[in-house]
């Protein structure tokens, strides 16, 4: 029958509800009769009453569980006892809101779609699935646009002549807003708590999120203590144990272990104070009362939060000031602004890509940042009532409870991890996904936990119920295996207080003296006998320390699970099929940190292992019949509980579990199907491609046959000498086309890298995004203490105020004149089993070569470029590194900013060749004076002045030819050299090209020592002499003990002398002459000098490619290269900071055609070059190898072009 279009929503955070209102508004605009209905208020019979069509918008919570307001509906739909014809003939469609990072993507939507059809409903449109890890709004619009209204129209009544008002005009249309005078504490207290509203909440219409405000209980924070042994709150490395007194909260005091507590955070008061001038208010107005009243007497009122309340409470507690304005909010606010601001918002609303960027959580726009930027040039004021009504609501944050109500009656414990925003500021409030944060200048864990509420749907009502699983496991006396990392230990702490059977725990952290949470409690639980028959409650305690100081490579939970494979197969075998008892009758097992060994495990060895590294096993000497471990009648039937952040406890752990069980993914799914695997994860997933991508067109793979360089050597030389560092103060402010930036970032990938680590990372700031980088810089320096300014930059600035004035001047005169600011970052190689860890300076060198590729191509394009150090303290800080989504704790670096402009014209000069290179072609050692001048040198040349301001002269050569040359460059290994000589004149030419690299402050730190002829043996013999002097102990550790003694190394070296080094025509030692302190002159960081030398080597390598000469940058032999002996042997001075960076091998090879480098094909993942439209603030995760190497923060100015103009190749698909 024809009837109403009913739009049902099941929503946890309000997103599905928001989509429901948007869909309803569009339906009304099409003249259809439609309404939005909360699934919590629906009875089964009402679903088919009155005819019409139904659409279900269903979100997921946890790992595919239904949201709280849809639990009853989902249970009814899934119940086998529900009659199969209950919904016969009901036209329906389903759209699910999920996240692909979870194992059960959109399970609620998928099950609802199948369940509706099973009960006789008629599907009119295919199931739609939105991914919150991508652009879920676009997914929803695409689904609606695929024929939704055409599919439901035949079943829905039309309301002729009715045109829906603009969406923002329908919101709050029945409410009047009032800002009343301040009231006394006694009068205002009751309203702030919301007691009166709580009594009426069930009878009033409100949204999903607001229900929390009306029903929440208050709980007092009784205790906060740090859990980490070495906390570092400044970089987000802090975890707190928080205790709440819930004795006066009946809804909270009856919790079960591993239940969920939801906390409502508060905004930072400083952010509230920032906003007030935008409303035309002052701090004293915060004590005034706000209220919403119905316009029509007796009408049910929809209120966004409990009122009346103080304005202070409304802004601190109920408005999420950390989220950007929504589409609804923008439309409503713009109607009350002037023409200029209104026009800007209209352009923004018409640009879907810009709206996606604005609301991208990774971009982290706040309410103040947006509105301040919009209103900075005008006199407009924001309407307070509209703002309070439509500002995104503050969402409660879920936390797994870390205690047992039976063990700690009246108190509830949480394990809370601190998180840092990553831009020099700390968020005030509780972070989502298991993190909590506090504002600077106060305890991070003060009562920012303003309101607390036990989950609306207790765990026992959910399909994925946890406590009941463990209660049943206790009754059945089956093995329980708990796997967690970091704050994922929380539920296990509660279980250990209640379980009376042996349990195994695998726990991961960085190190035993760094972040081993609840260490004393865990070791005590292992040591104590807690069960009735004398067995330990925690029979096995297995730890994985990823950064143990005694380990050459990290160890993770995944590794431990694989080592425990025999035990896991016994514990988790199907019920009654296994007889393996750990610790029973001599079948115990232990892990000593490296290997698994069978046999008896006694208390003495347990103590020794526990003190050293990783494992505590069952004690075979205690208990009845020697049984102290995990054992059950008949064996098997165990339960696994995995808990932690999805980055640590995601698919990798499940894959390791499947491998340990021997059945892979099928074994894991079998456990899950039997209800014996519970996985509770939160936060960002393990490395995955960026959320929004614009895939660059990669170059074609190198052909199998080398077609040769397309540029003549003379042209390449001229290009190298024409490259200039064009200072931003000379930029015009004109915009550079995005396609040029795409080409530059593409050629960066073709730099040399040791061990294929490819450490370069780039974050591109353009348009308004440039201001974001500058503002983050100011935020960092604003937090510096007074003493900082006395020494920074030689005391140039008396305080932050003077520095801010300086930066604001530079903002206008330098940085905003740049078309693009590209942050240059280095992702540090991480330890891997069996893989060499390369020195950090080699990774810096690789990034520098990538930047030199960009600079040379920019020159070919006729574009200006400049590598700026930016502001030293910020670039060198962990805040600066984390601002770019990297991890300072893992050695990642921010190396400065690459500035771009549309054109270039500069002149430059360089040191003569004789000052930077010396020649050694015999075994005879000549005296060195340490000046690198006049000794074994080429003939001195006059100081050169080239290219006096003209652009690159060879414009007849296509830009693509230059890019092709860069892509053609290869590291040709010396073993493939023929031994034929390269003419000395060619080597001089390479060294001449090296001089034209960029260097900060014209330090020109590159120095080269050329070993040719017998000089090559001189270098090899010096290397052998150094290692011959090493003590016996040296050989036990060097190269992992590969050579037991010098004689073994010598034999190896002599083989290499013949098979590698003497096949080279020339061996050029690459050296860095360290800048020395000078009065009134800035001393540049060492890494900048290393980068300059690396750019010089890249010049040589590219010219060698055009000359068809084989070249390879070798580390040589690390210990010698890094030693003072090695540095001094090159005529430098180690004590002055000079460095030897390796050897540039030059030779002839007939295998150039066989060398090719992998070029990622189009298609995404690890095989694409992509740009992430947005920067992830405050989250540090390993990025996939190629997919996120280039991450774009692309925002355009507030005037002229669309507000956020994401053009061309950078537009998200």
Q: pLDDT tens for residues 274-317?
A: 999 999 999 999 999 998 877 666 555 677 888 888 999 999 98
Q: What is the pLDDT of residues 446-470, one digit of tens each?
A: 223 333 333 333 333 333 345 555 5
Neighbours of 598 (CB within 10 A): 12
- CA distances to 29, 169, 1173 from 161, rounded to whole Å, are 10, 19, 43
pLDDT-derived band at 730, boundaries 50, 70, 90:
confident
Looking at residue 746, its pLDDT comes to: 87
Looking at residue 535, its pLDDT comes to: 55
Looking at residue 464, its pLDDT comes to: 39
Helices (H), 1078-1132: 1086-1106, 1118-1122, 1124-1129
Q: Which residue has the higher pLDDT, 637 or 279?
A: 279
Residue 96 has pLDDT above 90, yes or no: yes
Looking at residue 726, its pLDDT comes to: 85
What mean pLDDT is predicted for residues 1010-1035? 93
Looking at residue 200, its pLDDT comes to: 46
Nearest to 433 by CA among 216, 132, 230: 132
Is residue 950 helix, strand or coil? coil
Q: At what angle do helices 664-673 and 651-661 cross, to 10 degrees?
A: 100
Looking at residue 676, its pLDDT comes to: 86
Q: What is the pLDDT of residues 731-778, one digit of tens each?
A: 877 878 777 888 899 889 889 988 888 899 988 888 767 888 898 899
Q: Look-up: residue for tokens 């919790």?
A: 255
**C-alpha–C-alpha distance, residues 438 and 448, integer Å:** 8
Looking at residue 695, its pLDDT comes to: 28
pLDDT-derived band at 922, boundaries 50, 70, 90:
low
Identify the helix (H) or strand (E) that includes residue 864: strand 864-868
Residue 1009 has pLDDT above 90, yes or no: yes
Spatial CB neighbours of 716, under 8 Å, sequence gap ≥ 6: 709, 965, 993, 1102, 1103, 1106
What mean pLDDT is predicted for residues 817-830? 90
Interior/surface letters 14-25, b for 16+ CB within 10 angstroms, e for the rest: bbbbbbbbbbbb
Q: Which residue has the higher pLDDT, 1015 or 1170?
A: 1015
Query: For the chain, what percent of residues have pLDDT higher than 90?
Result: 25
Nearest to 917 by CA among 1018, 1017, 986, 1010: 1010
Residue 126 has pLDDT above 90, yes or no: yes
Helices (H), 451-571: 467-476, 490-496, 519-527, 557-563, 565-571
pLDDT-derived band at 987, boundaries 50, 70, 90:
very high
pLDDT-derived band at 932, boundaries 50, 70, 90:
very low
- CA distances to 225, 236, 514, 554, 557 from 229, rounded to whole Å, are 11, 14, 5, 19, 20
Q: What is the mean pLDDT of the chain?
A: 74
Region of poorest pLDDT, from 302-311, 771-780, 822-831, 1147-1156: 1147-1156
Q: β-strand 435-436 against 864-868: which pairing, if any?
A: unpaired
Number of H helices, E strands in the chain: 43, 38
Residue 1150 has pLDDT above 90, yes or no: no
Identify the helix (H) or strand (E) that includes residue 208: helix 208-215
Q: Look-up: residue for tokens 């006998």?
A: 529
**C-alpha–C-alpha distance, residues 683 and 431, integer Å:** 10
Neighbours of 403 (CB within 10 A): 24
Give first-to-last CA distance, the chain, whole Å: 40
Q: Residues 1138, 1075: contact at Cβ < 8 Å?
A: no
- At residue 58, φ and ψ (nearest 5 deg) are -125, 120
**C-alpha–C-alpha distance, residues 232 and 371, integer Å:** 33
pLDDT-derived band at 903, boundaries 50, 70, 90:
low
pLDDT-derived band at 413, boundaries 50, 70, 90:
very high
Task: Please tell me the pTM assigned to this model.
Answer: 0.54
Q: What is the pLDDT of residues 478-490, one digit of tens each?
A: 788 999 888 888 8
**C-alpha–C-alpha distance, residues 324 and 56, integer Å:** 27
Helices (H), 153-207: 167-170, 185-193, 195-200
Cβ-based burial of 67 (10 A; exposed 0-12, middle 13-18, buried ≥19) = buried
Looking at residue 466, its pLDDT comes to: 53
Looking at residue 549, its pLDDT comes to: 64
Tally the residues of the chain.
Answer: 1213
Q: What is the pLDDT of residues 151-172, one digit of tens each?
A: 999 999 987 655 544 544 445 5
Looking at residue 632, its pLDDT comes to: 39
Is residue 639 helix, strand or coil? strand
What mean pLDDT is predicted for residues 775-794? 87
**C-alpha–C-alpha distance, residues 597 and 600, integer Å:** 9
């Amino acid at each position: 029958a024809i009837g109403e279009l009913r739009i049902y929503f099941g929503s946890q955070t309000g997103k599905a509800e928001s989509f429901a209102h948007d869909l309803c508004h569009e339906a009304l605009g099409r003249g259809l009769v439609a309404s939005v209905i909360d699934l919590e208020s629906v009875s089964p019979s009402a679903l088919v009453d009155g005819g019409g069509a139904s659409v279900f918008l269903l979100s997921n919570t946890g790992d595919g569980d239904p949201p709280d307001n849809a639990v009853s509906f989902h249970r009814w739909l899934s119940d086998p006892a529900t009659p199969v014809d209950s919904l016969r003939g009901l036209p329906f469609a389903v759209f699910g809101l999920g996240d692909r990072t979870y194992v059960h993507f959109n399970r609620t939507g998928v099950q609802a779609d199948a369940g509706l059809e099973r009960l006789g409903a008629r599907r009119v449109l295919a199931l739609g699935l939105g991914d919150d890890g991508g652009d879920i709004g676009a997914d929803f619009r695409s689904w609606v646009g695929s024929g939704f209204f055409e599919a439901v129209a035949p079943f829905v009544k039309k309301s002729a002549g009715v045109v829906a008002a603009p969406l923002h005009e329908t919101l709050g249309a029945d409410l009047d807003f009032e800002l009343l005078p301040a009231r006394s504490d006694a009068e205002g207290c009751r309203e702030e708590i919301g007691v009166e509203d709580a009594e009426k909440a069930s009878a009033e219409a409100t949204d999903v999120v607001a229900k929390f405000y009306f029903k929440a209980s208050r709980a007092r924070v009784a205790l906060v203590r740090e859990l980490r042994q070495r906390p570092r709150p400044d970089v987000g490395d802090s975890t707190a144990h928080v205790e709440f007194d819930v004795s006066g909260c009946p809804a909270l005091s009856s919790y079960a272990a591993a239940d969920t507590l939801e906390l409502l955070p508060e905004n930072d008061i400083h952010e509230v104070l920032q906003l007030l001038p935008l409303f035309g208010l002052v701090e004293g107005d915060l004590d005034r009362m706000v209220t919403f009243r119905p316009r029509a007497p007796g009408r049910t009122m929809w209120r966004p939060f409990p009122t009346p309340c103080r304005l202070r409470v409304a802004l601190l507690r109920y408005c999420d000031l950390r989220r950007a304005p929504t589409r609804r909010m923008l439309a409503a606010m713009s109607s009350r602004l002037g023409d200029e601001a209104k026009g800007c918002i209209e352009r923004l609303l018409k640009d879907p890509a810009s709206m996606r960027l604005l609301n991208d959580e990774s971009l982290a726009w706040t309410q103040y940042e947006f509105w301040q930027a919009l209103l900075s040039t005008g006199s407009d004021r924001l309407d307070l009532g509209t703002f309070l009504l439509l500002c995104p609501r503050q969402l409660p944050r879920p936390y797994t409870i870390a205690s047992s109500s039976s063990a700690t009656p009246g108190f509830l414990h949480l394990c809370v991890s601190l998180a840092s925003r990553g831009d020099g500021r700390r968020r005030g409030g509780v972070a989502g996904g298991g993190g909590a944060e506090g504002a600077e200048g106060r305890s991070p864990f003060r009562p920012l936990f303003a309101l607390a509420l036990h989950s609306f749907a207790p765990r026992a009502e959910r399909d994925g119920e946890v406590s009941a699983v463990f209660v049943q496991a206790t009754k059945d006396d089956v093995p329980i295996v708990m796997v967690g990392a970091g704050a994922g230990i929380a539920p296990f702490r509660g279980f250990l207080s209640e379980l009376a059977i042996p349990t195994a725990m695998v726990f991961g952290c960085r190190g035993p003296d760094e972040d081993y949470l609840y260490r004393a409690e865990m070791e005590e639980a292992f040591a104590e006998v807690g069960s009735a028959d004398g067995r330990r409650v925690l029979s096995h305690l297995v730890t994985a320390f990823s950064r143990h100081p005694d380990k050459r490579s990290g160890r993770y939970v995944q590794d431990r699970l694989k080592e425990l494979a025999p035990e896991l197969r016994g514990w988790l075998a199907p019920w009654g099929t296994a007889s393996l008892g750990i610790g029973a009758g001599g079948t115990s097992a232990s892990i000593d940190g490296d290997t698994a060994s069978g046999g008896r495990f006694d208390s003495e060895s347990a103590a020794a292992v526990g003190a050293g590294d990783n494992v505590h096993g069952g004690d075979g000497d205690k208990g009845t019949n020697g049984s102290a471990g995990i054992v059950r009648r008949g064996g098997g039937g165990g339960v696994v509980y995995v808990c932690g952040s999805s980055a640590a406890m995601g698919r990798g752990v499940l894959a390791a579990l499947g491998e340990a069980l021997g059945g892979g993914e099928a074994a894991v799914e079998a456990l899950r199907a039997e209800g014996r695997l519970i996985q509770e994860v939160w936060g960002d997933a393990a490395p995955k491609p960026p959320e929004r991508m614009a895939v660059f067109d990669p170059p074609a793979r190198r052909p199998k046959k080398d077609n040769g360089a397309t540029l003549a050597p003379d042209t390449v030389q001229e290009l190298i000498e024409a490259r200039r560092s064009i200072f931003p103060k000379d930029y015009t402010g004109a915009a550079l086309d995005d396609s040029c930036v795409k080409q530059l970032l593409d050629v960066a990938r073709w730099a040399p890298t040791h061990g294929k680590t490819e450490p370069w990372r780039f974050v591109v700031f353009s348009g308004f995004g440039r201001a974001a980088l500058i503002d983050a810089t100011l935020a960092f320096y604003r937090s510096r203490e007074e003493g900082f300014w006395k020494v920074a930059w030689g005391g140039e600035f008396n305080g932050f105020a003077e520095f801010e004035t300086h930066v604001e001047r530079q903002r206008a005169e330098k940085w905003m004149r740049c078309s693009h600011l590209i942050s240059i970052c280095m992702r540090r190689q991480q330890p891997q089993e069996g893989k060499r860890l390369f020195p950090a300076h080699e990774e810096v060198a690789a990034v520098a070569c990538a930047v030199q590729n960009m600079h040379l191509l920019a020159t070919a394009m006729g574009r200006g470029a400049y590598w700026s150090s930016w502001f030293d303290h910020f670039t060198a800080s962990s805040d600066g590194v984390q601002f770019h989504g990297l991890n300072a704790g893992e050695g990642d670096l921010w190396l400065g900013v690459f500035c771009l402009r549309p054109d270039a014209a500069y002149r430059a000069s360089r040191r003569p060749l004789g000052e930077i290179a010396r020649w050694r072609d015999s075994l005879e050692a000549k005296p060195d004076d340490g000046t690198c001048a006049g000794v074994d040198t080429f003939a001195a040349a006059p100081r050169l002045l080239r290219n006096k301001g003209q652009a690159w002269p060879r414009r007849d050569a296509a830009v693509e030819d230059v890019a092709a040359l860069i892509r053609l460059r290869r590291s040709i290994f010396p073993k493939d050299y023929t031994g034929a000589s390269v003419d000395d004149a060619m080597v001089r030419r390479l060294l001449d090209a090296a001089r034209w690299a960029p260097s900060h402050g014209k330090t020109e730190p590159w120095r080269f020592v050329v070993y040719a002829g017998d000089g090559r043996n001189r270098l090899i013999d010096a290397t052998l002499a150094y290692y011959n002097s090493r003590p016996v102990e040296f050989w036990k550790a060097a190269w992992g003990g590969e050579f037991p003694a010098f004689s073994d190394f010598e034999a190896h070296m002599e083989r290499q002398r013949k098979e590698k080094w003497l096949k080279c025509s020339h061996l050029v030692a690459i050296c860095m002459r360290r800048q020395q302190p000078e009065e009134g002159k800035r001393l540049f960081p060492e890494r900048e000098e290393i980068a300059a030398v690396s750019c010089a080597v890249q010049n040589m390598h590219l010219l060698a490619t055009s000359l068809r000469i084989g070249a390879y940058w070798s580390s040589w032999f690390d210990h010698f290269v890094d030693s003072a002996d090695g540095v001094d042997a090159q005529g430098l001075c180690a004590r002055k900071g000079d460095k030897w960076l390796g050897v540039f091998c030059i030779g002839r090879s007939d295998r150039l055609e066989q060398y090719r480098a992998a070029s990622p094909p189009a298609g995404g993942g690890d095989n694409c070059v992509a740009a992430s439209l947005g920067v992830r603030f405050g989250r540090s995760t390993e990025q996939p190898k190629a997919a996120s190497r280039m991450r774009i923060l692309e925002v355009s100015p507030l005037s002229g072009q669309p507000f956020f103009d994401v053009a061309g190749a950078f537009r998200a698909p």
